[in-house]
Amino acid sequence: MGLVLSVRAIGFEGPILCLKRRPRPALTERFPQLCETVHLALESAESLPDALASRVGGEETAILHTDERFLSAFADDTRFVGVPGAGDEVDTVLHRARFYDRLDRESLAPTPDTIPSHVNPRPVFGGVYRSRVWHTWRGLERLPRGGVIDSPAALERWRETAREAGLSDDEWGFQAQLSARPEDNISVCGWHDAGVRQYIVTRRRGVAAGLGWWVQRILDPARLLETTARVLDAFEFEGPFELEFVRDPGDGVYRVIELNPRFWMQHRLAQILTDHALVRRALGMVATETVKEGPQHWLQTDVVLRRPIRTSGLALRAVWAHPPAEAAGTLLRRTLWDRAR
């Protein structure tokens, strides 16, 4: 929804089409005055460009990606306007083990200690470690994320999860367990290209269902801005991004865990602080290269309204994921409906 709000904020008055993964209701459908939301039945990620071209006809269409499933499908399709992102390096970026290997070989950034799935993890990591799946998606299918393993029983449960998901041994591995504290999960995010370094640094303050619902802008704690520029320069990256770090409690080092080569969930904070420069550039428009002072927090509206006490002091000085007035009305209607049933 944040992309829709930014595109409208810069004055675009044409149609905005939001694609949803599943037939069930989507957030954007609550704002029909701003955009149209559709579900396209797809056989594969590669089929989306043709399906979308049939939908929009010959109109010039820009693509703004919010997940990585379709990046490769649109990479060389001249029917659509987009940003290069990771370009030819996208497969390396999206395969976490290969990404770590590249960072390690070229001394670009510290990464978590990682081993293949066939290696016994206990002698390497001790009693607590985690499983890590190298890809988020297999085609259109979302894969398990992996998780903390702290016992032989937990290890066997994970192996069963991997078997049920059809994961081969080379699709996942084991990794040292880094800090589980939300505030130790830090991202450098914004826009990068050959001439522009427009970054902010954020940390998670609240997590629900594995996703950050409260994010705070902070000062760079460990020269992560320099690390980010070095990594993205090496990949000749051009576009919006989020490079995610987690603190290693053993040595205090912030280690790279993944690069999201597209718009990320909390991008609206960066948009507000840059006069929507990320969207402007993605659409081929002139944009500022500065980051101004302003709101320091991003809040996921629907989650916050269910936790008013914890975030009450932030309401007037935060960037909301989508308008709180609409969200409050939706929450009230759902509550009354639940009580009436």
Same-domain pairing of 188 and 168: no
95, part of any domain: no
Report the pLDDT value the prediction gives residue 335, as an integer from 0 to 100: 52
Cβ contacts of residue 125 below 8 Å, gap of 6+?
A: 113, 174, 176, 177
Is the pLDDT score of 215 beyond 90?
Answer: yes
Q: Mean per-residue pLDDT for 205-210?
A: 82
323, part of any domain: no
Contact 277, 191 (CB under 8 A): yes
Same-domain pairing of 162 and 207: no
Segment 20-31, tens digit of pLDDT: 988 899 999 999
Q: Which of 62, 83, 104 is the last residue of a domain?
A: 83
| Domain count for the chain | 3
Same-domain pairing of 172 and 189: no
Same-domain pairing of 291 and 241: yes
Report the pLDDT value the prediction gives residue 43, as an integer from 0 to 100: 93
Segment 83-129, tens digit of pLDDT: 999 999 999 999 999 999 999 999 999 999 999 999 999 999 999 99
275, part of any domain: yes
Same-domain pairing of 206 and 223: yes
Segment 156-202, tens digit of pLDDT: 999 999 999 999 999 999 999 999 999 999 999 999 999 999 999 99
Segment 233-280, tens digit of pLDDT: 999 999 999 999 999 999 999 999 999 999 999 999 999 999 999 999
- One-letter amino acid for residue 17 of the chain: L
Contact 3, 64 (CB under 8 A): yes
Is the pLDDT score of 331 beyond 60?
Answer: no
Is the pLDDT score of 287 beyond 80?
Answer: yes
Q: Which of 176, 206, 227 is the last residue of a domain?
A: 176
Q: Mean per-residue pLDDT for 44-60?
A: 92
97, part of any domain: no
Q: Which of 144, 176, 208 is the last residue of a domain?
A: 176
Same-domain pairing of 118 and 73: no
Same-domain pairing of 35 and 134: no
Report the pLDDT value the prediction gives residue 57, as an integer from 0 to 100: 87
301, part of any domain: no
DSSP string, 37-104: EEE---SSGGGHHHHHHHHHTTS-EE---SSGGGHHHHTT-TTEE---BTGGGHHHHHSHHHHHHHHH
Segment 113-169, tens digit of pLDDT: 999 999 999 999 999 999 999 999 999 999 999 999 999 999 999 999 999 999 999
* Domain of 118, in residue numbers: 113-176
Q: Whole-prediction pTM value?
A: 0.94
77, part of any domain: yes
Joined tokens for residue 222: 């460990």
The CATH number covering residue 196 comes to 3.30.470.20
- Report the candidate in 319, 103, 136, 65 with the shortest Cα–Cα distance to residue 214: 319
Is the pLDDT score of 16 beyond 90?
Answer: yes
CA dihedral 139, 302, 31, 73 (to 10 degrees): -20
Q: Do β-strands 129-133 and 148-149 pair in parallel, antiparallel, or remain unpaired?
A: antiparallel
Same-domain pairing of 169 and 209: no
338, part of any domain: no
Same-domain pairing of 163 and 194: no
Same-domain pairing of 159 and 250: no
333, part of any domain: no
Neighbours of 113 (CB within 10 A): 16
Classify 315 as helix, strand or coil. helix
